[in-house]
Chain A
Amino acid sequence: MGTLQTLTVHEIAEGLEQKTFSAREVLQDCLEQSKKIDPSLHAYMELLEEQAAAQAEAADERRARKAVLSSLDGVPIAVKDNFCMQDVRTTASSRMLDNYYPPYDATVVRLLREAGAVFIGKTNMDAFAHGSSTETSDFFTTSNPWDIGRLPGGSSGGSAAAVAADMTIGSIGSETAGSIRQPASWSGVTGLKPTYGRVSRYGLISMCSSTDSPGPITKDVRDSALILDILAGQDPHDSTTSPQPKGDYLACLGKPIKGVKIGLPKEYFVDEIEAGVKDAIMQAVATFKKLGAEIVEISLLDPKYSIAVYTIVQRSEVSSNLARLDGNRFGHKRTDFGDEAKNRVMLGTYTLSAGYYDAYYKKAQQVRTLIVDDFNQAFKTVDVIIAPTSPVVALPKGASEETAIFGELMDVLVEPSSMAGLPGLNVPCGFSKPKNGSVAMPVGMQIMGPQFSEELILQVGYAFEQATDWHTKKPQLSQE
């Protein structure tokens, strides 16, 4: 069996360029790995073997004709199952859409297609992205490649696990509040949640329209930069995308970070944070100091306020966004919604009801403004902010069932920046052995910046990655 699946996007691009191997060979290795490993991980909703083969072949032909489309041409990419892909089953891991074949491509899918990416498969997620574990997928739970008794995080858990287990070269996730960064953290990979409005939501099955942000999950920072370069930009189909020109996400990599002011918010290092997580972050702080960055202790609004704000705003929008699955179309009755979706619809319906709107939704939006202002204030004194991505390392399976708002608690450290629409990058920064676990699990650090500061956070993340080797660690995978 080959080992091409272990390479990064930029390594594959280079190998294809130098004709060291073909796109077909790369796909072959990824498929083999997937068939071997996925039965115990369940990262994929579906492997798109046949069409991926055709896409890889077309990529090889283009290369032979010297008509390469982009650095992603011929590179296998897994796509979260909430992105519509024309004529490919797109379920958002929900029973409600278990037989839904969209007649159109999401803009993210279209851009990747036009860039020549090979769609190796659709990945599992919490149904409709409602969760942080993949345990609320209406089909099956994905396992964490580092310990299959544990969760990969979510909602983009399948995309994160597929990358961590080398079942694809890169993947696409979507984040509403943590759904890229948190699974990337728990699965030990890199995940970039761009500024809200940087990447089009068109064709992404809406969860919380005012925060949903598509982004890459990859093996290193350069790969995330490469994929963001393809995805970023204004989309005439999505009025909430920004007209702001996209950055040069590759040129910023390798620039020194000497003098960059890094904020360390004390509210993000409270007692609830696992000791092993805190230690790893403090080690990262030491690394940044060595690189010449200036560490500044700052104070931000207690992230707990964001839980309330986020829960109300997101439930409200969910209750409306899911209304189109009204039982008349798509082949399922409304009673077929999973419990999590039903809970969210009920809560959101309540918070939007006459007489409650002002007390909940309106109030939440007002507090949201305060959160935005709070970050704006902070970014007057620092360039970026770092914090743990998750207060804990990956939890055992079943953990989400014990807590009603499990997702919100797991995402407490990413919710404030999500509500503010800020970009955030998760990079692996160490390992910590959980109390009841046998394997040390990955710890993730998030780097947050002001709106549209993707270049800066990628630069900082890349500098950290170059000074450490956490991102090169691979899980011990076993066939079940």
Chain B
Amino acid sequence: MATSYVPIIGLEIHVQLKTQSKMFCSCDAQYFGDEPNTHTCPTCLGLPGALPVMNQEAIIQTIRVGLALNCEIPAESKFDRKNYFYPDLVKGYQISQYDQPLTKNGWLEIETEEGRVRIGITRAHLEEDTAKSIHETDPKTGESYTLIDCNKSGIPLLEIVSEPDLRSVREASAYARKIQQIVRYIGASDADMEKGQLRFDINVSLGIIEDAEGVEDTLDIVKRILPKKHTPIVEVKNLNSFRALEKALEYEIKRQITLYEETGELSEMGNKETRGWDYEREETIFQRSKEEAHDYRYFPEPDLPPMRFTAEQIETWRAELPELPEAKAARFVKAYGIKPEDAALLVADRKEADWFEQAVEKQDKTVVQEVAKWLLGDVTYLLRERETTLLQSGLSGEHLVELVTLIAAGTISGKIAKDILPEIITGKSPKALVTEKGLQQVSDSGALEAVAREVIAENPAVVDQIRSGKESAIMFLVGQMMKKTKGQANPPVVQEILRKLILT
């Protein structure tokens, strides 16, 4: 009897919120790249006697994310202390949320091989980030030591906890990317992984599926019902890139299959384990088992009063949410007749989507579709080649529409348009370029007839072929004419003239 495995994955995603000041003090939260310990005060240094004060902006951002993730927003919430010792935890406790998170019971839908699947979101709560440990070794003595940079201490940190509803590496990755997109969309975070603004912890185990139960279990996969038996849950902490997320999952799944086939060990109370990720060897490493797990001794933070929200406040925040990517894509499909897969690409980044919409405002559907085609095709290719982005480039929406319009009107050919695109993305006007370089397409049949006669005279053999019935050979002559006119001839007009001169 063959056994198959289905990964059971849950994600904890940490997002640094984009706020002016830190979570519990007024220190400037934009610290990236600054000298260590320059964004600090008694509160975020954890000095004796210092007290926290809540950052309202961070609380509202958390609620907005919760609303975007279809969460409930309880009318009451509070902060708790999570007590543990670590050198980068300056107070000996982290102010976090335990049993009354700001938002809970949400969901997010992703596309999977089984179709669209709803991934449960247990909660999204607010806490403070820790300081940063920098481990160094003295090159002379070989002595190792750790330095602490408190610039990161107290940065507002949102933790989004999913249900164990993800069933593959691809799903986990898609879910994580979607979270990144949403927090960026609503302006809650830049979620820049390079700056450590988005980090993942994964919980992974393997559901064991015996052959006989195959059919039933496949249905369970679609419904995201937990398999009856699964391997011990492993938590891998602190993954700070999508690559690490994917690699760690792949590694863990393989490791757990091997382990299960050797030992047959299943999940039970107390055999959960925590592992770390070795970025160089791309392996998970054992850190601790459940027996050694922390007892965080949570209790309500006595320095902060509980928070209360009115239904009006919550509705206002809901109403103020921007259009989310999926809704925007659906609207693009409907309003402009763009293909769903293209619409998804167009809305990937909110600012670029806005750029597109501003560009095509008041244009015909056909123009909009052409602009989309250019944007997702040649423009994207060129921008990538130049290692820049749409918004960093000089390309204006007006110019791209102009280019598309020039092609549609027959003023220039597609080929000319491609040729001048590099200059257009630096900010030059297509119209001006065409005039300046004399690139207007020649459709004047008088002028073209003269060139056609030249081409016919130069290619008697091809002309004979055409006359003897192989009409497709005419394309060779068209090509010749385009060459002679440096691409400025209008191909349909050229073809018509050639046909007339040769066949009549």
Contacts and interface: CB of A to CB of B under 8 A. Distances in A.
Interface stretch (B80-88, B154-162, B172-180, B261-269): B80-88
B51 A323 contact: no
A160 to B, nearest CB: 21
Contacts of A103: 42, 47
A297 interface: no
Contact of A324 (B92, B298, B304, B305): B92
Interface residues on A, range: 35 or more
Contacts of B87: 326, 328
A240 interface: yes
A202 B83 contact: no
A320 B92 contact: yes
B90 A324 contact: yes
B302 interface: yes
Given A239-B304, A320-B93, A352-B83, A357 B48 contact: no
A210 B48 contact: no
B44 to A, nearest CB: 12
Contact of B51 (A97, A210, A239, A316): A239
Interface residues of B, number: 27
A82 B148 CA distance: 26
Contact of A239 (B48, B52, B83, B92): B52
B54 interface: yes
A328 B45 CA distance: 13
A56 B92 CA distance: 40
A104 interface: yes
Interface string A179-202: 000000000000000000000011
A106 interface: yes
B54 A92 contact: no
B53 interface: yes
A317 B302 contact: yes
Contacts of A202: 49-51
Given A323-B92, A324-B92, A353-B297, A240 B48 contact: no
B279 interface: no
A217 interface: no
A102 B297 contact: no
Contacts of B81: 320
A97 B47 CA distance: 11
Interface in B24-68: 42, 46-54
B68 to A, nearest CB: 28
B303 interface: yes
A340 to B, nearest CB: 17
A82 B48 CA distance: 9
Contact of B48 (A92, A236, A238, A361): A92
Contacts of B291: none
A352 B299 contact: yes
B238 to A, nearest CB: 21
B302 to A, nearest CB: 4
A352 B297 CA distance: 5
Given A324-B48, A353-B295, A354-B295, A239 B53 contact: yes
B91 interface: yes
A205 interface: yes
Contacts of B305: 239-240
Given A240-B303, A349-B297, A353-B295, A102 B91 contact: no
A102 B47 contact: yes
B48 A205 contact: yes
B10 to A, nearest CB: 21
A221 to B, nearest CB: 29
A236 B87 CA distance: 29
A204 interface: yes
A157 interface: no
Contacts of A354: 295, 297
Contact of A320 (B42, B47, B54, B299): B299
Contacts of A357: 297-299
A323 B91 contact: yes
Contacts of B52: 239
A477 to B, nearest CB: 33
B51 A326 contact: no
Nearest to A235: B51
A109 to B, nearest CB: 10
B502 to A, nearest CB: 89
A237 B53 contact: yes
A17 to B, nearest CB: 34
A209 interface: yes
Nearest to B86: A326
Contact of A206 (B49, B53, B85, B299): B49
Given A239-B54, A352-B297, A203 B49 contact: yes
A320 B48 contact: no
Interface string B194-208: 000000000000000
B48 A100 contact: yes
Given A84-B49, A239-B53, A209 B303 contact: yes
Interface string B334-378: 000000000000000000000000000000000000000000000
B393 to A, nearest CB: 45
A102 B54 contact: no
Given A210-B302, A353-B297, A203 B85 contact: no
Contacts of B51: 201-202, 206, 237-239
Most B-side CB within 10 Å, residue of A90, A92, A319: A319
Most B-side CB within 10 Å, residue of A92, A322, A324, A354: A324
A239 B49 CA distance: 13
A326 B48 contact: no
Interface in A65-105: 82-84, 90, 92, 97, 100, 102-104
Interface in A290-330: 316-317, 319-320, 322-326, 328
A201 B302 CA distance: 12
A361 B46 contact: no
A199 to B, nearest CB: 13
Contacts of A361: 299
A317 B81 CA distance: 10
A204 B49 contact: yes
A85 B391 CA distance: 51
Nearest to B296: A354
Nearest to B300: A365
Contacts of B47: 84, 102-104, 324
A102 B93 contact: no
A349 B296 CA distance: 10
A97 B42 contact: no
A278 B306 CA distance: 42
Contacts of A319: 83, 297
B126 to A, nearest CB: 15
A349 B295 CA distance: 10
Contacts of B148: 328
B293 to A, nearest CB: 10
Contacts of A203: 42, 49-50
A106 B49 contact: yes
B15 to A, nearest CB: 24
A191 B90 CA distance: 35
A323 B83 contact: yes
Contacts of B298: 352, 357
5 contacts: A84-B47, A317-B302, A323-B93, A353-B297, A354-B297
Given A238-B53, A324-B46, 6 more contacts: A90-B48, A203-B42, A203-B50, A210-B302, A326-B87, A352-B297
Interface of B: 42, 46-54, 81, 83, 85, 87, 90-93, 148, 295, 297-299, 302-305
Lowest 4 CB-CB distances: which A-B pairs, in order?
A323-B92, A352-B297, A209-B302, A210-B302
